[in-house]
Amino acid sequence: MDRCMKGFRYICLSNFIMGKLDQKIIVVTGGSGLLGKALMERIYAEGGTVINGDMQSDSNNAFPFIPLDITEEASITNFIQQVLDQYGRIDGWVNNAYPRTNDWGAHLEDFPLSSWKSNIDMHLTGYYACCKHALLQMKNQGYGSLVNMSSIYGMNGPDFTVYEGTEIINPVAYSAIKGGILNLSRYLASYYGKYQVRVNCVSPGGIFDHQPKAFVEAYSKKTPLKRMGTPEEIAPSICFLLSDESKYITGHNLVVDGGWSIV
């Protein structure tokens, strides 16, 4: 459905229902990816205006796209200026991009320190750089909600048995990056609370993306809900944290993992 049709549908629906994110201007970084696509659809369904900030556009969706490279500070400031020029404010921001080096999937023994450093810099520092500039804008506005995407692997060590018999690697730097994002979010929530600017995390568990059968079965067996998640099951929690329904929640980590991390 193109943007025009989506706008028409929204006008029709908005006569009858209010969405959680009505009138809100929301940025999603990495909106062209697996979780980003479902998230943008959900924000839109909740009445929000969503802008995709990604290095590559997604030709299959008609949401506004502004190029963004979260590893370059000038790209972030230029992106924010373009959003402000076109939309006037930023009510919500989701750090969802997933930059990584070409050898991201290498075994720990084959993963050089240079790659470790690059990934920490691209991902953890990239998230911080987006936080720094987006939160400054929200502070100036006197309100705003930012959500950082972490992971169960920012909280728990991996269970390597679920990868047995497959080529899938759980990258060592991911645990440090996602754990870093979790506590960075707590620092920022505390720092910006007095400006009514909120910072929270969402930590998804494994999302089904056509992984090998052996992995899907082993992962599902270990999960209390006995299956992997879908992008559509992650998006509503992010929308909740972006919405005014969560306006007294900050510094929280909302785990959406079918129970993986509690056993």
Give catalytic residues, as residue numbers.
174
Residues 194-233 as x/- pattern, contact with ligand NAD by CB under 6 A: ----------x-xx--------------------------
Minimum CB separation from ligand NAD for residue 203, in Å? 7
- Can residue 145 be called a binding residue for ligand NAD (CB under 6 A)? no
Query: Of the candidates 27, 45, 50, 97, which one interacts with ligand NAD according to CB under 6 A?
Result: 97
Q: Are 47 and 22 in contact (CB under 8 A)?
A: yes
Tokens coding 139: 């502070």
From first CA to last CA, the distance across the chain in angstroms is 42
Query: Of the candidates 21, 25, 51, 96, which one interacts with ligand NAD according to CB under 6 A?
Result: 96
- Name the residue whose CB lies closest to ligand NAD: 33
SS3 content of the chain, % helix, strand, coil (to 5): 50, 15, 35
CA distances from 239 to 30, 124, 232, 260 (A): 16, 22, 11, 22
Only one of the segments 31-39, 129-137, 160-168, 213-221 lies at the binding site for ligand NAD (rule: CB under 6 A); that segment is: 31-39
Q: Count the site residues for ligand NAD by CB under 6 A.
A: 23
- Can residue 172 be called a binding residue for ligand NAD (CB under 6 A)? no
Residues 37-56 as x/- pattern, contact with ligand NAD by CB under 6 A: -----------------xxx
Nearest Cα neighbor of 35 from 213, 250, 238 is: 238
- Can residue 36 be called a binding residue for ligand NAD (CB under 6 A)? yes
In 3-state terms, what secondary structure has residue 68? coil
Q: In terms of CB distance, is 137 or 230 closer to ligand NAD?
A: 230
Query: Of the candidates 22, 65, 66, 71, which one interacts with ligand NAD according to CB under 6 A?
Result: 71
What residues have CB less than 8 Å from 114, skipping those under 6 apart?
Answer: none
Alpha helices by DSSP H, listed for 16-72, are 34-45
Minimum CB separation from ligand NAD for residue 195, in Å? 25
Minimum CB separation from ligand NAD for residue 11, in Å? 29
**Residue/partner pairs of 156-165 with CB below 8 Å, 24 or more apart:** 156/260, 156/261, 159/222, 161/218, 162/215, 162/218, 162/219, 162/222, 163/215, 163/218, 164/214, 164/218, 165/212, 165/214
Contact residues for ligand NAD, defined by CB under 6 A: 29-30, 32-36, 54-56, 68-71, 96-99, 149, 151, 204, 206-207
